[in-house]
C-alpha cells in the first residue's frame, strides 16, 4: 500500500533527504518552491541539521551548493526554470569544475506559463553545459532519481540535473520510500586545482568534460529509466520523454500500443538504444513537454532518412504543455466529444488580496503619476505585478527579477522623466541592489518604490532576505538618506503617500520610497485567522 | 473501478481540503490516486482546479482527459461551468449556488444557475446557507463534499473517517461541525439528484 501521498516536488525533497544531502539551497519560485519547504519542515532535517534556509537568489544558492560539494558533502540546489538564468554563470562553469560531493540541480520548468514569464526548457541548459539530465515520468521516479542522483553525480564527476515540469511538480501520488543514505564526510577534492578555472586549468578541465561525454551517454544506455518496448506495427515509433509517457499510456489503457516506444527519462540521448528503436520503425513521433529538443536531435542521429514529427512539424502544438488529448490527436486517435464552456463564463484572473498594502501603494502612485503621460512605471516579479491588470493598470514592464530599477534607469537616461520603478522587498535583495548601485553611480533621476511586505509573498510567504535591512542597504549603496522615505501604505495615509511621491518625483536624483506593511496572507497565517474574502 | 473528479473553485475557497479528505479515504481503501493541483499565481483569487483520479489499477496521466470526468465538484457556480468540457456525458455536476464575486463582470447568477440546470445530471446546493445555518460559513466546502459523495464510489463512512483524520488535530468541535456539514450535504444530494 502507498503510504506517502506526495506532490512531485515533495517527492524530490524526500528523495534528497533520503539520498544523504547535508544541505539544500534555493530561492522560492513556482513551481519549485515546495521542494525546499518540504525539506525545511521535515523531521530528518531537524534531527540531522540539514542546512535548508532560503538564499538571496538562485546564483548565491548555486554557488553555496557548489561550495558544499567542494567540501565533499552531498547537496541539492533548486529553482524554477528562469532561476537557472540567474544562476547560469555558476551552472555552466560547475560543469567544467566538476563536483566533489554529489550535486543535484533540480529545475522546475513551467510550460504553459502557469506562473512564469516564459516556458524555456532547462534540458537545453543541460545540453549547453554538457551534463546529464534525469527527467522523471511520475512522482515515484522523481523520488528515486533524486535519491540516486547524488551517486550518479559522484560517479560521473559533474552536477546532475533533475528536470520536472509544473504538472509533475504539483501533482500528488503515493510514494514508496527507500532507506536513508548516510551523509558524506567532510573531504576536500583530491586535485587542489579542480575548482580553479584559470584559462590553463580550465582548458584541461574542459577537455576532461568532453572526454567524459561517452560515460554520460553510457549511463543513459544503462539507465533503468530509459527503456525500449518493441511494437508489432513498424509504421510508427514513438519517443516519449518524461511525463509525456503517461499521456501516451493514458491512450493505451485498454489495449497494447502497437508501436515501438522509446521511453526517454535520462539524457544525453542513448545512441545505441535509439539505434535499436530506429530499426523497428519507419516513421517517428516525438512527445516532449517543453522545446522540441529531442525532435531536433534525433534527426541528426538516425542513420536512415526517416520522417520525424512532433512540435516542429505541427503534429503537436509548438507551445504549451502536452496532455493525453493532444497526444491522442497526434496519434490520429479520436478524443471524446465534449460540450464547450458556456459563453456566460468569464475569466477570473488572480488579484491582489483584500487589504493588501500593494493596493494602497498603487492608489497613491496612480494619483501622483496621472498628471504625466502614461508608460513611466517599470515593475518586477511578485504579487505587485498584478498592478498591470485593472483596476490599477499602473505598470508597463515585468521582465526579470530586478529589471524594474535598471529599466527605469535606462528610460530615465533616455530622457523619460519621471521614471519610476516598483519592486518588492525580496526581489530587491534578489537582484535589485546592483541596479541601484548603477543608478547611484550614474546619478540617475529615478524614483524607486520598494513595496515591502516583509515576505516572499507570491510563492506563499517565505522569509524574505530583506527583512530589517532595506534602509541600511540603500544608504550603504549611496542613496542620500534625505531621499529614503518610509511610510505605511494604508488608506488613511493616502495623501501623505501622494505627497511623498510628488516630492521625490521633483528631486533630480535617486529616491527610494519604502512602503512597508505586512503581507496580509502571512499576517493571517501568523494569527491563524482567515483573511476576509473579496466581495 | 475508476472515478475521475474535477474539483473547481476560486483560490482560497478550500478545494484542496476536499481533495485531502477524499485522498485520505482513498488511501484507506488501498486504491491508487493522482491529484493535480493549482499552485502559484492563481491561488490569489483566481480560478483554481484540481484533477483527482482514483482507480483500482495504476493511473497514467495526472490530468483527466476531456469528456471523461465522472464528476465535477465545484464550490462556486460559475467555476463549475468552466470545466464542462471535461465532464463525460453521463457524469454529474455538483455545485454550490452561492457565487464568489471578486470580478467586476461577474455574470447574472440566475443565468449561471440556468446553465447548471441545463446539465443532464446535476446537484445544485446552497452550501453557504447550509453552512451558515450550522453556525460557520467556512464549512461550506464540506457541505459540497457531502453532496458529491453519492457519486464518488467510496462509502460515506470512509469519507467521514477521512474528515475525522484530517480535522482531528483541530479539536472535537471542528470535527463535529464538519461531520454535520458533510451529512447535511449528503442528505440534500440523496433527496435532490
Query: Which residues of chain B are within 8 Å of residue A383 when distances are taken between CB atoms?
Result: 44
Whether the Cβ atoms of residue A132 and residue A189 lie closer than 8 Å to each other: no
The position carrying cell 495504476 is B58
Whether the Cβ atoms of residue B53 and residue A316 lie closer than 8 Å to each other: no
Report the interhelical angle of A357-369 vs A494-506 (nearest 10°). Answer: 50
| Residue from the list B10, B87, B105 with its beta carbon closest to the beta carbon of A346 | B105
What pairs with residue B47 in β-bridges? B10
Pick the CATH number of A227-330 from 3.30.160, 2.30.30, 3.30.70, 3.40.50: 3.40.50
Domains of chain B: 2-192 (3.40.920.10)
Minimal C-alpha gap between B184 and chain A (Å): 24
Residue among B62, B84, B174 with most chain A CBs within 10 A, to mutate: B62
> In whole angstroms, what is the distance from residue A168 CA to residue A172 CA?
8
Query: Which residues of chain A are within 8 Å of residue B38 when distances are taken between CB atoms?
Result: 114, 170
> In whole angstroms, what is the distance from residue A496 CA to residue B171 CA?
46
Query: Which residues of chain B are within 8 Å of residue A351 when distances are taken between CB atoms?
Result: 44-46, 102-103
b/e per residue A105-125 (b: at least 16 CB within 10 A): bbbbbbbbebbbeebbbbbeb
Q: Which DSSP letter does residue A243 get?
A: T
> In whole angstroms, what is the distance from residue A22 CA to residue A270 CA?
32
The per-residue pLDDT for range B7-47, each reduced to its tens digit, is 999 988 889 899 999 998 888 888 999 999 988 777 778 89
Enter the CATH code of domain A357-525.
3.40.50.970
Q: Say if domain A4-178+196-211 classifies as CATH 3.30.200.20.
A: no
Query: Which residues of chain B are within 8 Å of residue A340 when distances are taken between CB atoms?
Result: 84-85
Whether the Cβ atoms of residue B143 and residue B92 lie closer than 8 Å to each other: no
| Residue from the list B42, B85, B101 with its beta carbon closest to the beta carbon of A338 | B85
> In whole angstroms, what is the distance from residue A2 CA to residue B188 CA?
34
Structure ipTM over 0.85, yes or no: yes
> In whole angstroms, what is the distance from residue A269 CA to residue A241 CA?
11
Count CB atoms within 10 A of the CB of residue A299: 15
Q: Does A227-330 match A357-525 in CATH topology?
A: yes
Which residue is closest to A324 within chain B, CA to CA?
B65
| Residue from the list A172, A174, A250 with its beta carbon closest to the beta carbon of B61 | A250
Residuewise pLDDT in 10s, chain A (535 residues): 446 889 999 999 999 999 999 999 999 999 999 999 999 999 999 999 999 999 999 999 999 999 999 999 999 999 999 999 999 999 999 999 999 999 999 999 999 999 999 999 999 999 999 999 999 999 999 999 999 999 999 999 999 999 999 999 999 999 999 999 999 999 999 999 999 999 999 999 999 999 999 999 999 999 999 999 999 999 999 999 999 999 999 999 888 899 999 999 999 999 999 999 999 999 999 999 999 999 999 999 999 999 999 999 999 999 999 999 999 999 999 888 888 999 999 999 888 998 999 999 999 999 999 999 999 999 999 999 999 999 999 999 999 999 999 999 999 999 999 999 999 999 999 999 999 999 999 999 999 999 999 999 999 999 999 999 999 999 999 999 999 999 999 999 999 999 999 999 999 999 999 999 999 999 988 876 554 444 3
> In whole angstroms, what is the distance from residue A362 CA to residue A123 CA?
39
Domain ranges, ordered by start, for chain A: 4-178+196-211, 227-330, 357-525
Radius of gyration of chain B (CA): 15
Q: B113 and chain A: CB distance < 8 Å anywhere?
A: no
- Alpha helix (H) residue ranges in chain B: 15-28, 77-82, 109-117, 127-134, 140-148, 156-167, 172-192
Minimal C-alpha gap between A17 and chain B (Å): 23
| Residue from the list B62, B66, B102 with its beta carbon closest to the beta carbon of A171 | B62
Amino acid at each position: 500500500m502507498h503510504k506517502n501521498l506526495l506532490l512531485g516536488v515533495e517527492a524530490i525533497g524526500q528523495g534528497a533527504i533520503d539520498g544523504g544531502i547535508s544541505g539544500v539551497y534555493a530561492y522560492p519560485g513556482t513551481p519549485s518552491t515546495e521542494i525546499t519547504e518540504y525539506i525545511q519542515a521535515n523531521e530528518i532535517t531537524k534531527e540531522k541539521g540539514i542546512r535548508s534556509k532560503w538564499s538571496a537568489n538562485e546564483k548565491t544558492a548555486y554557488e553555496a551548493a557548489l561550495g558544499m560539494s567542494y567540501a565533499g558533502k552531498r547537496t541539492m540546489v533548486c529553482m524554477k526554470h528562469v532561476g537557472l538564468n540567474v544562476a547560469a554563470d555558476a551552472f555552466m562553469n560547475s560543469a567544467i569544475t566538476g563536483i566533489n560531493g554529489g550535486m543535484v540541480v533540480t529545475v522546475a520548468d513551467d510550460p504553459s506559463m502557469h506562473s512564469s514569464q516564459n516556458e524555456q526548457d532547462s534540458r537545453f541548459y543541460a545540453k549547453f553545459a554538457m551534463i546529464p539530465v534525469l527527467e522523471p515520468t511520475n512522482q515515484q521516479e522523481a523520488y528515486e532519481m533524486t535519491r540516486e542522483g547524488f551517486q550518479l553525480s559522484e560517479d560521473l564527476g559533474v552536477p546532475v540535473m533533475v528536470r520536472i515540469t509544473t504538472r509533475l511538480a504539483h501533482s500528488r501520488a503515493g510514494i514508496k520510500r527507500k532507506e536513508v543514505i548516510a551523509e558524506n564526510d567532510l573531504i576536500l577534492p583530491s586535485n587542489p586545482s579542480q575548482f580553479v578555472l584559470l584559462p590553463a586549468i580550465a582548458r584541461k578541465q574542459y577537455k576532461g568534460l568532453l572526454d567524459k561525454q561517452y560515460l554520460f551517454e553510457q549511463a543513459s544506455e544503462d539507465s533503468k529509466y530509459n527503456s525500449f518496448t518493441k511494437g508489432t506495427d513498424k509504421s510508427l515509433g514513438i519517443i516519449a520523454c518524461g511525463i509525456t509517457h503517461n499521456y501516451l499510456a493514458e491512450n493505451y489503457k485498454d489495449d497494447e500500443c502497437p508501436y515501438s516506444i522509446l521511453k526517454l527519462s535520462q539524457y544525453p540521448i542513448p545512441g545505441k538504444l535509439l539505434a535499436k528503436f530506429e530499426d523497428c520503425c519507419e516513421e517517428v513521433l516525438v512527445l516532449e513537454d517543453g522545446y522540441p529538443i529531442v525532435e531536433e536531435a534525433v534527426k541528426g542521429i538516425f542513420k536512415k532518412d526517416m520522417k520525424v514529427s512532433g512540435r516542429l512539424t505541427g503534429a503537436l502544438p509548438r507551445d504549451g504543455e502536452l496532455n493525453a488529448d493532444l497526444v491522442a490527436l497526434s496519434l490520429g486517435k479520436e478524443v471524446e466529444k465534449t460540450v464547450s464552456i458556456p459563453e456566460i463564463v468569464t475569466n477570473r484572473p488572480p488579484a491582489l488580496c483584500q487589504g493588501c498594502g500593494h493596493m494602497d501603494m498603487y492608489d497613491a502612485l496612480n494619483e501622483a503619476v496621472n498628471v504625466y503621460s502614461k508608460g513611466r512605471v517599470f515593475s518586477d516579479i511578485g504579487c505587485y505585478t498584478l498592478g498591470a491588470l485593472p483596476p490599477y493598470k499602473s505598470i508597463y514592464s515585468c521582465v526579470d527579477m530586478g529589471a524594474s530599477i535598471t529599466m527605469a534607469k535606462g528610460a530615465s537616461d533616455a530622457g523619460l522623466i519621471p521614471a519610476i520603478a516598483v519592486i518588492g522587498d525580496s526581489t530587491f535583495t534578489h537582484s535589485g541592489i546592483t541596479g541601484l548601485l548603477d543608478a547611484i553611480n550614474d546619478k540617475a533621476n529615478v524614483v524607486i518604490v520598494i513595496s515591502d511586505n516583509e515576505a516572499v509573498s507570491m510563492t506563499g510567504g517565505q522569509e524574505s532576505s530583506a527583512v530589517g535591512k532595506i534602509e541600511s542597504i540603500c544608504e550603504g549603496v549611496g542613496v542620500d538618506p534625505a531621499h529614503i522615505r518610509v511610510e505605511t501604505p494604508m488608506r488613511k495615509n493616502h495623501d501623505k503617500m501622494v505627497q511623498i511621491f510628488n516630492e521625490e518625483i521633483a528631486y533630480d536624483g535617486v529616491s527610494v520610497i519604502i512602503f512597508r506593511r505586512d503581507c496580509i496572507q502571512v499576517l493571517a497565517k501568523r494569527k491563524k485567522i482567515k483573511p476576509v474574502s473579496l466581495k | 473501478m475508476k472515478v475521475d473528479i474535477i474539483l473547481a473553485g476560486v483560490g482560497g475557497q478550500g478545494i484542496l481540503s476536499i481533495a485531502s479528505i477524499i485522498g485520505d479515504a482513498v488511501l484507506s481503501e488501498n486504491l491508487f490516486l493522482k491529484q493535480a493541483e493549482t499552485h502559484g499565481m492563481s491561488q490569489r483569487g483566481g480560478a483554481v482546479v484540481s484533477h483527482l483520479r482514483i482507480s483500482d489499477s495504476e493511473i497514467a496521466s495526472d490530468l483527466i482527459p476531456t469528456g471523461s470526468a465522472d464528476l465535477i465538484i465545484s464550490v462556486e457556480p460559475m467555476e463549475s461551468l468552466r470545466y464542462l468540457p471535461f465532464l463525460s456525458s453521463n457524469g454529474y455536476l455538483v455545485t454550490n449556488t452561492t457565487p464568489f464575486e471578486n470580478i467586476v463582470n461577474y455574470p447574472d447568477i440566475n443565468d449561471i444557475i440556468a446553465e447548471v440546470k441545463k446539465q443532464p445530471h446535476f446537484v445544485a446546493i446552497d452550501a453557504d446557507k447550509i453552512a451558515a445555518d450550522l453556525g460557520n460559513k467556512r464549512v461550506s466546502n464540506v457541505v459540497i463534499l457531502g453532496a458529491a459523495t453519492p457519486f464518488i464510489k467510496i462509502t460515506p463512512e470512509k469519507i467521514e473517517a477521512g474528515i475525522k483524520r484530517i480535522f482531528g488535530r483541530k479539536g472535537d468541535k471542528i470535527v463535529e461541525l464538519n461531520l454535520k456539514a458533510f451529512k447535511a450535504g449528503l442528505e440534500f444530494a440523496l433527496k435532490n439528484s
